[in-house]
Structure formats: structure tokens, C-alpha cells
Amino acid sequence: MPMSSSDHTVFIPGSFDPLHLGHVDVIGQAVDLFGRVVVGVLYNRAKSGGLFTPDERRALAEATVADAGIDEVRVMTFDGLAIDGAVEAGADFIVKGLRTAADFEIEQQMAHTNHSVSGMRTVFVPCDPARAFISSRFIREISAQGGRVDHMVGPRVARALSDRFSAPNRP
Ligand code: PNS
């Protein structure tokens, strides 16, 4: 695996509810390509919701990235715009993983919008095709019904999902 000759900090924003192996692939590629990655877990102060709290998502993301042996990653929570999170993280630009053409459609619009309002650029990284089918939403849905998702997430997330959905008063 070629190591990065670059000295950039990049920001990868998302909901990460929960972070899965597709995210791990994109984070690993970004470290190799650019140097340092800050993962930004978006939360909305005015709105609760989601399966895991923002702090739980951050802790699970940190554990998953560490278990994957990826260094040079910091995880933070942020509220508001991705461009503000990127500035707070000290990032040079935003990185987004692309799974499909449908991802590209929406991400292209966001990239141009973010650049138009802030000057912050976005770089797209193609997700490993073997992991491009993975989605946090489907992971939540399948786990909630007792299905198997451990091939799509890291071990800490698999355990957290199983704890969450086997609890007596599960959501
Ligand atoms: O993991 P997700 O939910 O697909 O991530 C989407 C996310 C959080 C990256 C995107 O919704 C986003 O950037 N939200 C922050 C609000 C924002 O910056 N809006 C302006 C977009 S042009």
C-alpha cells in the first residue's frame, strides 16, 4: 500500500449512524492519499433522533477505525454546515465517498454549493466495489429485525447493535 506523500487534513462529514465498512474503506483511502482525516459526525442540536447518540457514534467510529489499524484519524461531532465543520477541523478540503451514480448526483450538487458559499473544495473517492452496497439505513433496519449485519460493520458496531436490539426495552 503506497503511503501518503501528502500533508493535508481532510474532513469527511456524515451521519455515521453507524459507521460501516464502506466508510472504513473511504477513510483508509483518504489517509493514504492526503495524510490526515477528521471524521465529522453530524448532529442537530434542535432535533433528537437516530439510533445512536452523536457521542455513541463518535465512540463507535473511533473504535472501528482503530480496530481497522488506520492511524491519523480524529473523530469529532459537529452541528450545522459541513463547511463550518471542515473549518473547525482545520481541513484543507472535504472528502466524500461515492458508491453509485446516484451518490454522485447529490454529492456533485452539494460540492458545487459548498464551494460557491465558502470556497471549500470537495474531492470524491470511489468506495471499494465490494463494499459499495453497504448503507447505514439498511444496517439499522436489518439489525432491528434481528438480521445479520456483522459482515458490513466492524466488531464494536456489531456488538453495539446486538446490545441495542436485544435490550428488554429496545427502541
Ligand atoms: O451520512 P449522510 O447522512 O449521507 O451525510 C450527509 C451529510 C451530513 C454529509 C450532508 O447532509 C451534509 O453535509 N449536511 C450538513 C448540512 C450542510 O452542510 N448543508 C449544505 C449542503 S450543500
pLDDT digits over 84-130, tens only?
A: 999 999 999 999 999 999 999 999 999 999 999 999 999 999 999 99
Output the pLDDT for position 166. Answer: 87
The pLDDT assigned to 3 comes to: 59
Model confidence at 168, pLDDT cuts 50, 70, 90, reads low
Residue 139 pLDDT: 98
* Dist CA 31 CA 121 (whole Å): 17
Ligand 1 atom having least distance to the Cα of 117: 22
Q: Is the CB of 123 under 6 A from ligand 1?
A: no
Dihedral in degrees, nearest 10, Cα atoms 83, 122, 2, 155: 60
Whether the predicted pLDDT of 170 surpasses 60: no
Binding site membership of 98 for ligand 1 (Cβ less than 6 Å): no
* 51-74 tens-digit pLDDT: 999 999 999 999 999 999 999 999
The residue whose CA is least distant from atom 22 of ligand 1 is 110
Catalytic residue among 5, 45, 47, 148: 47
Active site residue 99: yes
For residues 45-58, one letter each, b for 16 or more C-beta atoms within 10 angstroms of the residue's C-beta and e for the rest, the string is eeeeebbbebebbb
pLDDT value at 49 more than 90: no
136 counts as catalytic: yes
Predicted model pTM:
0.94
Residues 6+ apart with CB under 8 A from 100: 132
Report which protein residue has its CA nearest ligand 1's atom 8.
14
pLDDT digits (tens, 9 = 90+) for 12-35: 999 999 999 999 999 999 999 999
Reported confidence tier of residue 1, pLDDT bands at 50, 70, 90: low
